[in-house]
Chain A
Amino acid sequence: MLPAGLVRFLTEIAEVTRFTTKFFREILRPRFEFAEFLRQCFFIGYKSLGLVAITAFIMGLVITIQSRPTLVEFGAEAWLPKMVSVSLVREIAPVITALICAGKIGSGIGAELGSMKVTEQIDAMEVSGTNPYKYLVVTRVMATILMIPILAVLADAVSLYGAYLGSNIRGVVSWDLYWNQVFATLTYSDIMPSILKTFFFGFAIGIIGCYQGFNSKKGTEGVGRSANAAVVISSLLVFIIDLIAVQITDLAGLT
């Protein structure tokens, strides 16, 4: 006999798998809710621009300031733009973007759908001739899949600008020299895997937020729990996906 906790965990995994499979089934069937998809892109993408940009800027600045003393100690100060740009583009900007989105978007989706579930709005949609899974889940997951890579690219650019300013706090690096060094260092094998994994981050954040919201129970308390679980699980999944992506990149010889 399996322990009750393990049974619950396995049941949850099975439910998430079923929910995810339904996404792939529904996405291929007409009708596609294009207007709602655009609305979600606006909320998920445009409304997160400021937060992602500020965080990315600070991360670029801080990483540069923190890395500088070590490089100075080894007489490798000139490598600062190279080292920082690779760190930011490969890892820090996409992961930080995904974590911010897991917090802001994942919790938002979990709470919104959870609240719709407990106030019977999802049932009302079904009664009104609408497939709620298509209208609410497919549109949101598609929007996170599309918007999070765009936000991550924006975060790359802004964090590199932050790193440029960070390089000039204690030292002097000209605008041209900095960007020449950055672009000379970065290759497709740095940029493409980092962008590719953000599509998976987006999928994980969207599907977990929607799953938690759709399965919200026990009134307003359940809504809070759904929002919380959406953040915790999607943040954890971001790290797991990142780990897998790094292993694949490594095996493919792209490191």
Chain B
Amino acid sequence: MNRKKNHTTYAPAADAEIAIQISNLDVSFGDNHVLRHFSFELPAGKSYAVLGKSGSGKSVLIKCIIGLIKPNAGTIQIFGTNITDLNSVELDKMRMETGFLFQSNALYDSMTVRENLEFPLRRHGIQKTAAEVDELVREALVNVGLPGTDNMMPAELSGGMKKRIALARTLILKPKIILYDEPTTGLDPITGREIGHLMVDIQKKYHTSSLVISHDLNCIHIAADRIVMLIDGTCYAIGTYDELKKSTDLKIKSFFD
């Protein structure tokens, strides 16, 4: 029996027009089929949102894209490379170019803001001088509107500040793609809107492609060019906010009413 695994090398195409291409993705946990033949494409430089009900598999989808969950079938291509059969070393290379903003921020409680920001740099083995690291930290904090918070602990920050610091940690590696998992969960509507506008600013400054997982229509309206409707585990519809809002399909309509 041949048990040799053929791992792909992560080699993103520099001129790829599609940042993320998902084809026939199937994910199930036991008898629970979360995603069924889910397919869609995120063009480079664009911002898409995936809208779906709680428990519809939005977070599972985004975790498949970052390689935290292995799909049962289907392919996920990041800039032309299928990442579903990458080994851990190649996955790390992909993750250096793909930022992930966690729903719960996932800031390390025992570390200061600065240490949180430096962590991905150190762990990915990126060789930088102390001055370069200082500059990257300062730049990331300025870009999320929180300069001077380097020495604060996560426990000292408000919900909105934590979200911004988590975003700064994502930005420190200057990713080409940013995945946002419920970026406004737990925030008041005003702070949620601020985060939405910040996401737009970040996309412009860093020229990233973004995929936002959310059920917050305000945030999606601000931050996403197009919306992917995730219903019954499939890509039910794709359109702009206004197109989908005008839809007469009851399943789509129920999100906008």
Residue numbers of A with Cβ under 8 A of B are: 115-116, 118-121, 123-131
CB distance from A200 to the nearest CB of B (A): 29
Q: Besides the contacts A124-B100, A127-B66, A129-B125, what 20 more A-B pairs have beta carbons closer than 8 Å?
A: A116-B109, A119-B104, A119-B106, A119-B109, A121-B106, A121-B107, A121-B109, A123-B102, A124-B102, A124-B106, A125-B123, A127-B68, A127-B95, A127-B100, A128-B95, A128-B119, A128-B120, A129-B123, A129-B124, A130-B123
A240 to B14 CA separation, bound complex (whole angstroms): 60
Interchain CB contact under 8 A, B123 and A120: no
Q: Chain B: interface residue count, which band?
A: 20 to 34
In the complex, which residues of chain A have a beta carbon less than 8 angstroms from the beta carbon of B105? 119
Query: Residue on A with the closest CB to B121?
Result: A128
Please name all residues of chain A whose beta carbon is closer than 8 Å to the beta carbon of B108 when the two chains form the complex.
121, 124
| Interface residue SS majority, chain B | loop
Q: Choose one: B100, B102, B109; the contact of A115 (CB below 8 Å).
A: B109
Is the Cβ of B104 less than 8 Å from the Cβ of A129? Answer: no
Evaluate contact between B96 and A129: CB separation under 8 angstroms: yes
In the bound complex, residues from chain B placing their C-beta under 8 Å from that of A116 are 109
Q: Do A120 and B88 touch (CB < 8 A)?
A: no
B120 to A120, Cβ gap below 8 A? Answer: no
A17 to chain B, nearest CB (A): 22
Complex contacts, B124 vs chain A, CB 8 Å: 128-129
Contact A128 B123 (CB under 8 A): yes
* B92 contacts partner chain A, Cβ-Cβ < 8 Å: yes
Determine whether B21 belongs to the interface, using a CB cutoff of 8 Å to chain A: no
**Alpha-carbon separation in the docked complex, A126 to B124 (Å):** 11
Is B103 interfacial (CB-CB < 8 Å)? yes
Residues of A within 8 A of B96 (CB): 129
Chain B nearest CB from A125 CB (Å) reads: 8
Chain A nearest CB, measured from B196 CB (Å): 21
Contacts of A125 in B (CB 8 A): 123
Q: What separation, in Å, do the CA atoms of A186 and B107 have in the docked complex?
A: 51
Give, as a whole number of angstroms, the nearest-CB distance from B63 to chain A.
8
Contact A129 B102 (CB under 8 A): no
List chain B residues, Cβ under 8 A from A124.
100, 102, 106, 108
Question: With a CB–CB cut-off of 8 A, which chain B residues contact A128?
Answer: 95, 119-120, 123-124
